[in-house]
Amino acid sequence: MKKIKVGLVFGGQSEEHEISIMTSREIVKAIDKDKYEIHLYGIDRKGYWKVFDEIGDDLKTLNFDRQKDKIPGSIIESLQNDVEVLFPLLHGPYGEDGKIQGLFDMLGIPFAGCGLMSSALCMDKDYTKKLLDKIGIPVTKSVTILKNDVIDFEKMEMEMGYPMFVKPVNLGSSIGISKVRNLKELVNGINDAFRYDFKVIVEEGIDARELECAVLGNENPQASTIGEIIPSHEFYDYEAKYFDDGKSQLIIPAGVSQKHIEMIKEYSIKAYVELGCSGLSRVDFFMDKKTGKIYLNEINTMPGFTPFSMYPQLWKHEGVSYTDLIDRLIQLGLKER
Binding site for ligand ADP (CB under 6 A): 140, 165, 167, 172-174, 177, 203, 205-206, 208, 210, 231, 235-236, 284, 286, 297-298
Q: State which residue, 165 or 322, has the beta carbon closest to ligand ADP.
A: 165
Secondary structure of the chain as H, E, C letters:
CCCEEEEEEEECCCCCHHHHHHHHHHHHHHCCCCCEEEEEEEECCCCCEEEECCCCCCCCCCCCCCCCCCCCHHHHHHHHHHCCEEEECCCCCCCCCCHHHHHHHHHCCCECCCCHHHHHHHHCHHHHHHHHHHCCCCCCCEEEEECCCCCCHHHHHHHHCCCEEEEECCCCCCCCCEEECCHHHHHHHHHHHCCCCCEEEEEECCCEEEEEEEEEECCCCEEEEEEEEECCCCCCCHHHHHCCCCCCEEECCCCCCHHHHHHHHHHHHHHHHHCCCCEEEEEEEEEECCCCCEEEEEEECCCCCCCCCHHHHHHHHCCCCHHHHHHHHHHHHHHHC
In the complex, least distance from residue 100 CB atom to ligand ADP, rounded to whole angstroms: 18
d(CA 269, CA 275) in angstroms, rounded, equals: 10
In the complex, least distance from residue 287 CB atom to ligand ADP, rounded to whole angstroms: 11
Which CA distances in Å does 90 have to 116, 150, 164, 176, 266?
14, 36, 30, 20, 27
Q: State which residue, 25 or 125, has the beta carbon closest to ligand ADP.
A: 125
In the complex, least distance from residue 52 CB atom to ligand ADP, rounded to whole angstroms: 28
In the complex, least distance from residue 172 CB atom to ligand ADP, rounded to whole angstroms: 4
In the complex, least distance from residue 24 CB atom to ligand ADP, rounded to whole angstroms: 21
In the complex, least distance from residue 107 CB atom to ligand ADP, rounded to whole angstroms: 28
Q: State which residue, 163 or 279, has the beta carbon closest to ligand ADP.
A: 163
Residue nearest to ligand ADP (CB): 236
Q: State which residue, 189 or 279, has the beta carbon closest to ligand ADP.
A: 189
Q: State which residue, 218 or 308, has the beta carbon closest to ligand ADP.
A: 308
In the complex, least distance from residue 324 CB atom to ligand ADP, rounded to whole angstroms: 27
Q: State which residue, 69 or 239, has the beta carbon closest to ligand ADP.
A: 239
Q: State which residue, 52 or 238, has the beta carbon closest to ligand ADP.
A: 238
Q: State which residue, 85 or 287, has the beta carbon closest to ligand ADP.
A: 287
In the complex, least distance from residue 160 CB atom to ligand ADP, rounded to whole angstroms: 9
Contact (CB, 8 A) for 227 and 253 = yes
